[in-house]
A = this chain, B = another copy of it.
């Protein structure tokens, strides 16, 4: 899947890129760049950044920005499934959650309604739930 997405954009699925995708697949949760380099120490920082940017563009990777610190990276939703994020305000840990399908449907309906009122056309949404994770509680 990742390979196809890249090929469509005339991008190669190189070893470095495969390593990144494998690392993101193996850890279920979004990771920072330093964390990614720990998972795959043979990657060089600049190439990792460059390849993440290319794969983000190609729809393989998603970049999350939350505080001022490092951004987090995860596989794009088409390669996984639609989900949201629990963010621990103490330690910065980010984990995934999925909401009930009917609730998602209600949200989408509400968002569509905005188009009429304001002229804004929604494409996708992201919900961040801030709080305390189990280990920081």
Residues of A within 8 A of B (CB): 65-68, 71, 86, 88-89, 95, 97, 99-100, 103, 106-107, 110-111, 114, 118-134, 137
Contacts and interface: CB of A to CB of B under 8 A. Distances in A.
Closest 5 pairs (CB-CB, A-B): A119-B134, A122-B131, A123-B131, A125-B129, A126-B128
24 contacts: A65-B65, A86-B114, A86-B118, A86-B120, A86-B122, A88-B120, A89-B123, A95-B118, A95-B120, A97-B118, A99-B110, A103-B107, A120-B131, A120-B132, A121-B131, A123-B130, A123-B131, A124-B129, A124-B130, A124-B131, A125-B127, A125-B130, A127-B128, A128-B128
A89 B119 CA distance: 14
Contacts of A129: 111, 114, 120, 122, 124-125
Given A65-B65, A114-B129, A124-B129, 11 more contacts: A86-B122, A95-B120, A106-B106, A107-B127, A111-B129, A120-B129, A120-B134, A121-B137, A125-B129, A126-B127, A127-B128
